[in-house]
Amino acid sequence: MKQNTLYLLLGALVVVVIALGIYVYREQTKPQGVELKIDDKGISIQQN
């Protein structure tokens, strides 16, 4: 039972590290400046 818990914790840690890496990568590759979106909801302006 302890070994299964260890594998579960290790798997959860791997998932968290991968998710954090993806988040950091997306934040660093965002274009700087003003973002203008036009979609079904209308027009939205967002400053990065």
Q: What is the pLDDT of residues 29-48, one digit of tens each?
A: 887 888 889 999 899 988 86
- Domain boundaries of the chain, sorted by first residue: 2-47
Q: Which pTM was predicted? A: 0.61
Residue type, 21: G
Q: How confident is the model at residue 14 (pLDDT cuts 50, 70, 90)?
A: very high
Q: How far apart are CA 27 and CA 33, in angstroms?
A: 13
Q: List all residues 6 or more positions away from 43 whose beta carbon is below 8 Å from its beta carbon.
A: 36, 37
N residues, the chain: 48
Q: How far apart are CA 7 and CA 32, in angstroms?
A: 41
For residues 34 and 45, is the Cβ–Cβ distance under 8 A?
Answer: yes
